[in-house]
Amino acid sequence: MRRLLLTLPLLFVPFVAAGQTVGGDQVSDMAWLQQQSSLKSGQPTQGSLLLQSQSSTTAAANNALLSLNPLSGGTVSSSTLLYGVTPNVTAQVGVNQRSWVTQPRIVGSEVGAIYNAGRYSLGVSVAQDQVPNTTPLPRVLPGAVTGVNGLPDFDSSTQVNARGRVALTGNSGLLLGASVGRIRLLPGNLMGLSTLDQKALSFGIDHGPISGSIIGRTMAPEPGMPNSFTTDRRWNSIDLGVTWRLPWQGSLSFGAQNLWSSGNATNTPAGPPEPDQSRTPYVQYHQDL
């Protein structure tokens, strides 16, 4: 039986080689769980510092309820500095970078604080993501557009995030998250818009090594924008994901991005004229070395 369990992850290697990765929101939940676990075992005492670093093949960030196409591939690395303000309050400053091939494409930063009262914890932060060069994000695979929230012409975003956990038992709990922000697009994009308002809500549950989450997201043009045929449009979607943290420092994740959406755009030779909301199932096995 043990040999069977050890060989199961190998069955999913072809998916990883094809560029399948977990959506940003599910990785955000995983990072939150890992951070809460580390705070329980090694929370910085009042007046002390703790540095956390992560690196993986997942094209997602752990600082916001933003989403990347699961087929986009890429790598993400992040570092977070925690400072113990009081026995229950920890301040955090983090940076992350998502890359494709060898060129950095999206750089993010986050400033916030976490209140941990044992049974429940709450974190609030302000985050920003931006593209260092003013070019559309690359197509890594045929038909797979690298972008944020289905937008290949993503330029930058600023958002306020809140994430909390309520313990039900010693090894299970409820996860709640929310994000409100604004996305800026590159000039000359096919949508003919410069900014979009975005809101997201997430609900999850964890029990031992297994955690799952469902995320609802909505985007709409900034109110009062003139001369745009999409000013009255609104794009909604729901993602679903499950992660199993394995005993040998690995994790197996599966789910679907845009499990439900308000509508799919018709692609043009230049790309999608609206946010890409195609349903995308994924499977990922990740091994920490």
What is the tally of structural domains in the chain? 1
Range of the domain at 188: 2-287
Structure tokens at 154: 């993503």
What are the residues facing 122 on neighbouring strands? 115, 164
| Per-residue pLDDT at 47 | 86
What parts of the chain have a pLDDT lower than 70?
A: 1-42, 56-65, 69-74, 100-104, 134-147, 224-232, 263-273, 289
Q: Which residues have a Cβ under 8 Å from the Cβ of 236 and sit 6 or more positions away?
A: 216, 217, 218, 261, 262
Q: What is the CATH number of the domain that holds 261?
A: 2.40.160.40
Q: Which residues have a Cβ under 8 Å from the Cβ of 119 and sit 6 or more positions away?
A: 166, 167
| Per-residue pLDDT at 1 | 44
Q: How far is the C-alpha of 253 from the C-alpha of 236, rounded, in Å?
A: 23
| Per-residue pLDDT at 68 | 75
| SS3 assignment for 3-23 | HHHHHHHHHHHHHHHCCCCCC
The candidate with the shortest Cα–Cα distance to 285, out of 5, 20, 6, is 20
Cβ of 263: how many Cβ atoms within 10 Å?
11
Q: How far is the C-alpha of 82 from the C-alpha of 127, rounded, in Å?
A: 16
Element housing 167 (H / E): strand 154-169
276 near 262, Cβ under 8 Å?
Answer: no
| Per-residue pLDDT at 105 | 73
